Amino acid sequence: MIRVIVTGACGRMGREVLRAIWNTDDIELVGAVDPNGNGIDIGTFLDTGKVGILAENNLEDVLLKSSPDLAVDFTGPQTVYKNTISLLNHGVRPVVGTSGMNVEQINNIIKLSEKLQVGGVIAPNFAIGALLMMKFSAEAIKYLPFVEIIELHHDQKVDSPSGTAIKTAEAIVEQLGNDSHQGLAGEIETISGARGAKYTDGIRIHSVRLPGLVAHQEVIFGGLGQTLTIRHDSSSRESFMPGVLLGIRKSMHLRKVVYGLDKILFECKG
């Protein structure tokens, strides 16, 4: 049994993770952390009645009491880096779904994990379909040389652009190398930001935040007389759970933190 705690347990993603873990046979839920937990029994979120596991607000205390093998983090951009460093220093494997960390923070985490030989995963997106979208986009750019990314999320998402959009742009840039020629030289924005944010090599990323959305992204490619759109939609947070469970199981065999669930998924598939 893999002993797991969930940080950000009372949030919408955290509750889905609690339910997913509770319904597995090989993963044991041993603790929950949330600043708004106030000692609530997590059975409230599982519709099981009390289960004896309380959502507490101090990560260090929960780590010492529950001795987990791994922690799943769905907190927020303000706390995820500190949480992940703390987990590694306790020898606890992190599976991080929280976005908002910068490149330096991610690299620091990977370096520390290598030093401590503690595996884990930081995943901008746990939906298998989203990983395929990124993989197909990296292939499409070889043939259609112009691209823009539009990501759409619910109105409670605090960071933009999404981690998925950034990861998609990274995958595309890896394929482009020094051959990128995105956008029109000298174009004028009459309203600043109208053309979205520029990622490395000038790839434009546009963020939409509206109630009613969950997590969606389309990557639009342009070529001579044609366009290609690759789109992924998560209509519920359940879509992320198979990827979270995969991340938990595979992290137990890693000796450092990897960035992107694709590093696990496509490697496993050969």
- Of 90, 135, 154, 157, the catalytic one is 157
Phi-psi region of 39 (alpha: psi -120 to 50; beta: other; left: phi over 0): left
Q: Which of 153, 206, 216, 250 is catalytic?
A: 153
If one counts every other C-beta atom within 10 angstroms of the C-beta of residue 125, the result is 28
Whether 65 is a known active-site residue: answer no
- Check: CB of residue 97 under 8 Å from CB of residue 245: no
Rounded Cα distance, 51 and 23, in Å: 13
Q: Which residues contact 118 (CB under 8 A, 6 or more apart)?
A: 88, 91, 92, 93, 255, 256, 257
DSSP letter for 92, please.
P
Amino acid at 8: G
Q: Is 157 a catalytic residue?
A: yes
- Indicate which residues carry an active-site annotation: 153, 157
